[in-house]
Structure formats: C-alpha cells, structure tokens
Chain A
Amino acid sequence: MVKSRLDRETIAMRVAKELAHGDYVNLGIGIPTLVSQFIPEGRKVFYHSESGVLHYGPMAVDGDEDVDLINAGGQFLASVPGMTYFNAADAFGMIRGGYIDVSVLGGFQVSEFGDLANWILPSRGTGNIGGAMDLSVGAKRIIVAMEHIDNEGAPKVVRKCSFPITGQGCVDLIVTDVAVIEVTPSGLLLKQVAPGWTVDDVQKITEPALRIDSEVTEITL
C-alpha cells in the first residue's frame, strides 16, 4: 500500500475530533488555525483568542474586514452574537486561570516527556513567544499539530528538545502527518498511524522509542 502523509487540512481535521461540545478552545497560528473549519454541525466549540475575544465564529468575508476585530494571527473575524471583548490581562487570566479546555499549538520539537519547543529557531537569534508559554502552563490540555519531520528530514519528536523550550512536560497529544501519539507518564504511546504506514515506519522517523498501543488503528476522520 502507498504510504500517504496527511496534508495540513487533514491534520487539522484529525485534531478537530479531539474537541468536545462545549469546550473553550484556543487555536495557535498555522495548522491549528485550520481546525475550526472541521467542527461538525451540532457540536458547539467556543474559541478564545489572545487578542481579547471569546466566542468568535468564521473569518470576515472580503470587503467586510474590520481592523478592530482580529484574532491572534491578525486575521479578520466576522461579528457574531454572543461575542465578548476583554483586555490582554483578562485574556491571559483566562488562560493561566485554567478556563481554557484545549490549546492547539504548532511545534518545532516535542520531547518524549512532553516538553514543547515552538518559539525560537536558534539560528535566528530571537523569536516570538506570543501566548504559547502561557498556554503551555495554563490550558487543561495541549495538543500539538505539526509535521513529523522537519525540512531536512530530522525527527521533530525527539528524546530531548535541542531548541529552547516553550514549556516543560506540557504536551498531552501529538498529531502529525503520519501518526497520533499520546504523551504518558511512561513515555510516548503510539495510538494511530496514517493510511499505508506501519508502526515500524513511524518509529524509524521518531527519535525516542515508542510504546505501542494494543489497538493501533489507522487514522480516521
């Protein structure tokens, strides 16, 4: 069987399955932003943004953009009933205060202990922390959505992060283009693989040893 990799939209579709009816969710920049498109009708998810808005809906349509209504990625939001605005201290009080059920973040590296590195490429000298460090300590559950290997083919799921970390032991679930991996106290547990991929295929491009769930399944959407 041909091994296929999930594209960015499909990774987002898989992450969307993790969000439950009634959850308060913060979506990071990149693949995480795409997740909101894939929540099925009838499941209500409330989105929170560091820019100071709760319960935003779709993006604004062309010609209807409002500079006073943006998400943390600078995208324009449509105004929807039930929306609320607040200042940046309150936006982060909600995060550190434990009111955000799920945070979906992008990642450069995730370690086998659930450390996340996603804010600085060492070659650049400086980087953007944004809200990621606060989310990593404050959200009840952290899902990282990213490619399994980097542009040079190096594993992004590693024994120890070589890049400066964003948070210690904060990641709960890793969803990549080839696998779904849970971070557990006894190591990384491989739960699902992409169509055509074997457990060995995934292990070969993953630095730490994976524990294998007794019921590894193919990723379904």
Chain B
Amino acid sequence: MVNKIFPSFSEAVHDIPDQAVIMMDGFGGAGGMPQHLILALRDHGAQNLTVISNTGGLAGFGSIAGQLSITHSTLIESRQVRKVICSFPVSRSPSNPNHLEIAYQRGEVDVEVVPQGTLAERIRAGGAGIVAFYTPTGVGTYVANGKEVRNFDGREYLMEYALVADYAFIRASRADHFGNLVYRGTSRSFNQLMAAAAKITIVEVDDIVPLGYLDPELIATPGLYVDRVVKRQSYG
C-alpha cells in the first residue's frame, strides 16, 4: 500500500483479533505512549491479548498533571490482557500498586519480567531477522532459569530468543504518506525498535507532512516498516 494514512484510530485497529500479540509503550512515559491507539483498542474490545512493553503501565510516570495520560493500564483494567512481557511491571511502591500488580496478584494476568536491555535487543533482533542471541545480562540470576548458558572466551552468556508481534502501536512525532517517521527526544526509545518487529505497525503521530518535508538524514523509521498512520486529533 502506498498511501498508509488511516482516517481514524478505530479503523486502524479494526482487525485486531483476540489473542493478538501487541508491542506498545515507548519507554513508558506519556511522551512515547500511543495513547489514542490504546483507547481505540479498548473500545474495539479484543480479548486475551499479550502486551510486550517496557513498563506494566505506570500511572503518572513521565506525565504532566492536567495533560492526557493514558497508559496500557487501561487495557488491564478493562481485562483485555492475558500476559505482559516487560522490564518494569509494577509501581515503585508496593503500597501503591498499579493495575497490572493487582491483576497479577489475582492470577488474572501472567507477567514475564525481562531485563530492559535484553528486552530491547530481543525486539531489535525480532525486527532484524535474528532468531536468538547470547548476552551476559542475567547470568546467575532468576532470568537465567531454563535458559542455555554458553561460555565464550571465558565468560558466560545466556541465550535469549527474539520477540516479534502481530501488531506494534507506535508513537512518533511526524510521518509522511510513505510512512517514514521521525521521533522526538526520549520518545524514540522502544518505539523505533517495535516499529520494525511486528507484522502490522500502526503509528500515532502529531502531524502528517507532504513527501520531502522530512529530512532523510533524520528519518529514524523508514516507511517500509510502517503499515498504518493516524494523525492525532480529538478522540471520538
């Protein structure tokens, strides 16, 4: 498809089936969060989803009071999520649990906790056609349980598998009609990796600009990774 622009968030998520695996959340703050896609998926109602994300959805994290601050907690609260693969699942304080921790304690959601750098590399590998890799991270810890440990040049490494998804929800700053994307600041983080690691990549942007307006030197995600682009406006 040459023109990847979709008219609404609801149309962009209309075909997501139950049990889909979806990547989302940037670093976890409001800036990199595909907030309108998350709301559209809540309204669409697909169930038993697996979410691959950096955090488990932390209300208020990296967000400014009074501004829109939707996280994927919304999908946990609406009981659409069966499993979360992430590095930072719970709030910092046990006395103030997030929705994921409450759902986890009730046995409603499975949580796979992954070191953040391993999570990033698993997603990067998934997008780049690498099936697995060896990393020194996690040797001798809980995350090594059940994994192959291999010695290279006298040091131990864990084998980790790549991650891929059915869909990625991406928050970028600007796009053009070919789906080329630029990000802003620290909102690039996991978004750039996730954009490459899903069968269908859906992007939420502030602006869609004519071809030629994005500096090719600064395009972080070339359009071949991108399937659908929706411009942010008032949700409804």
Residues of A within 8 A of B (CB): 29, 49-53, 65-70, 72, 74, 76, 85-89, 91-92, 95-96, 120-121, 123-134, 137-138, 164-168
Residues of A within 8 A of B63 (CB): 67
Nearest CB of chain A from residue B153's CB, rounded to whole Å:
14
Bound-state Cα–Cα, A125 to B58, Å? 18
- A133 and B29 contacting across the interface, CB-CB below 8 Å: no
Residues of A within 8 A of B32 (CB): 68
| Interface SS majority for chain B | loop
Contact mask B15-34 → A, CB, 8 Å, 1/0?
00000000000011111100
Contact mask B195-236 → A, CB, 8 Å, 1/0?
000000000000000000000000010000000000000000
Nearest CB of chain B from residue A183's CB, rounded to whole Å:
16
Whether A88 contacts B94 in the complex (CB less than 8 A), given A51-B27, A51-B186, comes out as no
Can you name the residue of chain A whose Cβ is closest to the Cβ of B94?
A124
- B141 and A130 contacting across the interface, CB-CB below 8 Å: no
- A96 and B188 contacting across the interface, CB-CB below 8 Å: no
Can you name the residue of chain B whose Cβ is closest to the Cβ of A133?
B115
Whether A164 contacts B142 in the complex (CB less than 8 A), given A124-B94, A129-B87, A129-B113, comes out as yes
CB within 8 Å of A: which of B179-198? 183-193
Contact mask B140-177 → A, CB, 8 Å, 1/0?
11110000000000000000000000000000010000
Can you name the residue of chain B whose Cβ is closest to the Cβ of A53?
B186
B111 at the interface (CB under 8 A from A): yes
- B29 and A70 contacting across the interface, CB-CB below 8 Å: yes
User: 9 smallest A-B Cβ distances: which pairs?
Assistant: A92-B117, A134-B117, A67-B31, A68-B185, A88-B120, A133-B115, A74-B62, A168-B140, A68-B31
Whether A129 contacts B88 in the complex (CB less than 8 A), given A96-B136, A138-B136, comes out as yes
- B27 and A70 contacting across the interface, CB-CB below 8 Å: yes
Bound-state Cα–Cα, A16 to B84, Å? 37
Residues of A within 8 A of B27 (CB): 50-52, 70, 72, 88
Q: Which range contains the number of B residues in contact with the other chain?
A: 35 or more
Residues of B within 8 A of A70 (CB): 27, 29, 31, 62, 186
- A87 and B192 contacting across the interface, CB-CB below 8 Å: yes
- Contact partner, B116, options A76, A87, A124, A134, Cβ 8 Å: A134
- Contact partner, B186, options A69, A133, A137, Cβ 8 Å: A69
9 A-B Cβ contacts within 8 A?
A91-B117, A96-B135, A126-B113, A128-B88, A128-B90, A129-B113, A130-B115, A133-B138, A166-B141
- A50 and B29 contacting across the interface, CB-CB below 8 Å: no
Bound-state Cα–Cα, A124 to B27, Å? 23
Bound-state Cα–Cα, A124 to B96, Å? 12
- Contact partner, A85, options B104, B119, B188, Cβ 8 Å: B188
Residues of B within 8 A of A49 (CB): 186
Whether A126 contacts B111 in the complex (CB less than 8 A), given A74-B61, A87-B192, A88-B189, comes out as yes
- B67 and A67 contacting across the interface, CB-CB below 8 Å: yes
Residues of A within 8 A of B220 (CB): 87
Contact mask B115-135 → A, CB, 8 Å, 1/0?
111111101100000000001
Whether A129 contacts B115 in the complex (CB less than 8 A), given A52-B186, A87-B192, comes out as yes
Residues of A within 8 A of B140 (CB): 165, 167-168
- A86 and B30 contacting across the interface, CB-CB below 8 Å: no
- A124 and B90 contacting across the interface, CB-CB below 8 Å: yes
- Contact partner, A87, options B90, B135, B141, B190, Cβ 8 Å: B190
Residues of A within 8 A of B30 (CB): 67
B139 at the interface (CB under 8 A from A): yes
- A137 and B137 contacting across the interface, CB-CB below 8 Å: yes
Residues of B within 8 A of A166 (CB): 141
Bound-state Cα–Cα, A138 to B119, Å? 15
Whether A88 contacts B116 in the complex (CB less than 8 A), given A51-B189, A53-B185, comes out as yes
Residues of A within 8 A of B184 (CB): 68
- Contact partner, B189, options A76, A87, A96, Cβ 8 Å: A87
Can you name the residue of chain A whose Cβ is closest to the Cβ of B121?
A89
